[in-house]
C-alpha cells in the first residue's frame, strides 16, 4: 500500500485521469502572460504526470520561470517519505464505522472493479474499506505505469527547481483542502464514478497520447474537447466541484499577486485554463490582458 501512496500526488489525483506523451516541440505552448497596467504575472498549464522523454520543457516555460520571483502551485506536493501525510491521507480516504465500498456500489460494478484490479495483482478485498476517490486515483496510477508513461509532472519539476534556486514557493490551496476533495470525490454517486472510471481506463493511454501534443502546442480547442467537454459530459457535478468552483476560488488569490512587487509564475493543471469558465477567461472578464507566450 505504501507504494501506491508514494505515487499519488494530490493534484494528479484531483485532475489525473487524462494527460501524457510526445516528443514534438512547437513554437507556442501552454504559458500565458497576464497583465494589468504596468504589472504582469505568468500562468502556465501543467501536466501532473509526465515521462522523462518530455523533458526539457518548451522554452516558454523556462522563460516564464527565469523572469519570475516566485512559483505558485495548486498545493504543496508531499514527499513520499512524509509519514504524517500518509497517515492523514489514509484517515481521510478510509470509511468509518465499518462502512465498505462493497456495501455502496452494486455487486456487478464491484465484480467489474475486482476483475480490473486483478490484472495488476491487486486484491479489491484489501481495498474495500477505502472511498472511491482513492480507488480511482490508484487506477490511474496503475494504468499510467502499465502504459509506460508514468513520471513526475511539471508541478513536481518546478517544485524541485524552485527549492534548488531558492525561489519562493506559494500555494493556491491547502493540502487539507485537496485531501477533502479526494475524500469526498463521488460522494453519494459512487456507482457512477466507479463505472465511468472503468470505462475511461480502456482509453487511458490513447487519450494521453492525444493530450500531450495539444498541451505542448497550446491547442486550447483540442484540450477543451479532450479534457473539459468529456469531463462535463461524464459527471457534471464532479466537474463543478473539481474545476469550476476551484477556478472561481483562485481568482481573488491571483488578483492579490498584482498588489506586490514580486512576479509570480502560477502553475495549474491545463484543464483549469481551457473551456468555459476557465481561469484565463475569468481574469479577462475582470479587465486583465491575456497574451500567449
Q: How confident is the model at residue 50 (pLDDT cuts 50, 70, 90)?
A: confident
How does pLDDT run across 265-292, given as a tens digit for each residue? Answer: 999 999 999 998 999 999 999 999 999 9
Cell of 254: 491571483
User: Which residue is associated with the grid cell 472493479?
Assistant: 113
Q: How confident is the model at residue 157 (pLDDT cuts 50, 70, 90)?
A: very high
Q: How confident is the model at residue 93 (pLDDT cuts 50, 70, 90)?
A: very high
pLDDT at position 35 is 97
pLDDT at position 145 is 87
Cell of 238: 464532479
The b/e string for 261-279 (b: 16+ C-beta within 10 A; e otherwise) is: eeebbbbbbbbbbbbeebb
Instruction: Give the CA-trace dihedral at 210, 205, 137, 231, to 10 degrees.
Output: 40
User: Which of 80-89, 100-109, 152-161 shows the lowest per-residue confidence on average (mean pLDDT)?
Assistant: 80-89
pTM of the model as a whole: 0.87
- Give the rounded percent of residues in the chain with a pLDDT score beyond 70: 91
pLDDT at position 275 is 93
Residue 266 lies in domain: 2-292
How does pLDDT run across 183-233, given as a tens digit for each residue? Answer: 999 888 899 999 989 998 988 888 888 898 999 999 999 999 998 988 888
Mean pLDDT on 127-142: 93
Strand arrangement of the beta sheet that strand 39-46 belongs to: 168-171, 70-73, 264-269, 39-46, 31-36, 289-292
Contacts 24+ apart (CB under 8 A), 164-170: 167/68, 167/69, 167/70, 167/71, 168/69, 168/70, 168/71, 168/262, 169/70, 169/71, 169/72, 169/73, 169/76, 170/70, 170/71, 170/72, 170/73, 170/264
pLDDT at position 133 is 93
Query: Minimal CA–CA distance to 45: which of 15, 21, 25?
Result: 15
pLDDT at position 91 is 94
Q: Rounded to an integer, what is the distance from CA 223 to the centroid of its chain?
A: 14
Per the structure, the count of domains in the chain is 1
Query: Minimal CA–CA distance to 244: which of 292, 278, 199?
Result: 278
Question: What is the residue-averaged pLDDT of the chain?
Answer: 88
Mean pLDDT on 138-159: 88
- Give the rounded percent of residues in the chain with a pLDDT score beyond 90: 66
pLDDT at position 147 is 84
pLDDT at position 186 is 87
pLDDT at position 4 is 45
pLDDT at position 148 is 81
Q: Residue 73 pLDDT more than 70?
A: yes
Instruction: Give the CA-trace dihedral at 3, 125, 91, 196, to 10 degrees.
Output: 90
Amino acid at each position: 500500500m505504501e507504494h501506491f501512496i508514494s505515487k499519488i500526488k494530490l493534484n494528479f489525483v484531483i485532475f489525473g485521469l487524462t494527460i501524457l506523451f510526445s516528443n514534438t516541440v512547437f513554437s507556442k505552448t501552454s504559458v500565458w502572460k497576464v497583465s494589468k497596467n504596468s504589472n504582469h504575472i505568468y500562468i502556465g498549464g501543467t501536466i501532473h504526470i509526465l515521462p522523462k522523454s518530455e523533458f526539457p520543457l518548451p522554452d516558454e516555460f523556462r522563460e516564464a520561470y527565469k523572469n519570475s520571483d516566485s512559483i505558485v502551485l495548486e498545493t504543496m506536493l508531499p514527499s513520499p517519505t512524509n509519514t504524517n501525510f500518509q497517515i492523514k491521507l489514509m484517515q481521510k480516504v478510509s470509511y468509518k464505522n465499518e462502512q465498505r465500498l462493497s456495501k455502496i456500489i452494486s455487486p456487478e460494478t464491484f465484480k467489474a472493479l475486482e476483475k480490473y484490479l486483478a490484472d495488476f495483482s491487486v486484491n479489491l478485498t484489501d481495498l474495500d474499506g477505502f472511498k472511491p476517490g482513492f480507488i480511482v486515483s490508484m487506477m490511474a496510477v496503475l494504468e499510467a505505469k502499465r502504459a509506460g508513461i508514468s513520471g513526475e509532472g511539471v508541478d513536481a519539476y518546478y517544485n524541485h527547481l524552485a527549492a534548488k534556486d531558492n525561489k519562493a514557493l506559494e500555494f493556491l490551496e491547502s493540502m487539507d483542502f485537496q485531501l477533502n476533495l479526494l475524500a469526498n470525490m463521488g460522494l453519494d454517486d459512487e456507482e457512477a464514478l466507479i463505472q465511468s472510471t472503468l470505462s475511461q481506463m480502456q482509453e487511458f493511454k490513447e487519450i494521453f497520447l492525444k493530450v500531450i501534443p495539444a498541451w505542448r502546442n497550446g491547442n486550447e480547442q483540442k484540450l477543451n474537447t479532450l479534457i473539459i467537454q468529456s469531463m462535463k459530459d461524464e459527471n457534471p457535478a464532479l466537474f463543478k466541484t473539481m474545476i469550476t468552483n476551484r477556478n472561481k476560488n483562485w481568482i481573488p488569490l491571483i488578483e492579490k499577486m498584482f498588489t506586490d512587487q514580486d512576479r509570480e509564475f502560477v502553475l495549474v493543471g491545463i484543464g483549469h485554463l481551457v473551456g468555459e469558465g476557465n481561469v484565463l477567461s475569468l481574469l479577462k472578464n475582470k479587465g486583465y490582458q491575456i497574451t500567449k507566450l
